[in-house]
Amino acid sequence: MNVNLYERIWMWAAGALIAAFLVTVIATSLTQALEPPSHVETIDPTRVSSDPRFATPGVTHDARGTTAVVVAMTFAFTPDEIHVPAHQRVTFRITSTDVTHGFEIVGTNGNAMVIPGYVSQFTTVFDHPGEYLILCNEYCGLGHHLMSAKLVVEEAKP
Ligand code: CUA
C-alpha cells in the first residue's frame, strides 16, 4: 500500500502523541496516586478546631510571607473575610471539617480542592489590589450556592 510521505509523518506524529499521553497517565497514576496536588499533609477532620494548625483561622505574617489559614465547612468559610497584601507571596492553607469543598479565588490562579482529612496549600501573589470573591466550586450540599467569602488584597502601606 502506498501512503503519501506527509500522511505517514502525521500518522507517526499522532501515534507518538497518543503513546506519550498514555505513558503520562500510567506513570503519574502509579507514582503519585490520587492526592491533593503539590502538597500532602493530613489532619483529623473531626478535630480541626482543636488542632494547633487550624485552631485560630486567619491571616498571619512572618519572615516567609503571609499565611491565610481557612476552615471550610457546610456552608461557610472561616474567616469569611481575608485581608492580604498585594505583590507579596501569600500562602493559603485550607482544610474541611465535613465534605469536599472548593476554594476558588475568582479571577486569579488561586484554586484548590478542599478534601476532609487533608490540608490543601498553595502560594500565590496578587498583583492587583481589590476585592475578590472566594467561591466553593465543589457541590457540597443544599447550601453550596451560599458558600462564599471575600478576599481583600491591599496595597502595602508605605
Ligand atoms: Cu462547599 Cu460547595
Average confidence (pLDDT) per 10 residues, the chain, 158 residues: 91 97 86 62 92 94 92 95 95 95 93 93 93 96 96 85
Burial of 150 (C-beta count, 10 Å sphere; 0-12/13-18/19+): middle
Query: Do the strands 120-125 and 130-135 form a parallel or antiparallel pair, or are they unpaired?
Result: unpaired
pTM over 0.85: no
pLDDT in tens, 17-55: 999 999 988 887 777 655 555 678 899 999 999 999 999
Contacts of 142 (CB under 8 A, 6+ apart): none
CA 77 to centroid of ligand 1, rounded, Å: 9
Closest ligand 1 atom number to CA of residue 75: 1
Query: Do the strands 101-105 and 130-135 form a parallel or antiparallel pair, or are they unpaired?
Result: antiparallel
Residue of minimum CA distance from atom 1 in ligand 1: 101
Closest ligand 1 atom number to CA of residue 99: 1
Residue type, 146: L
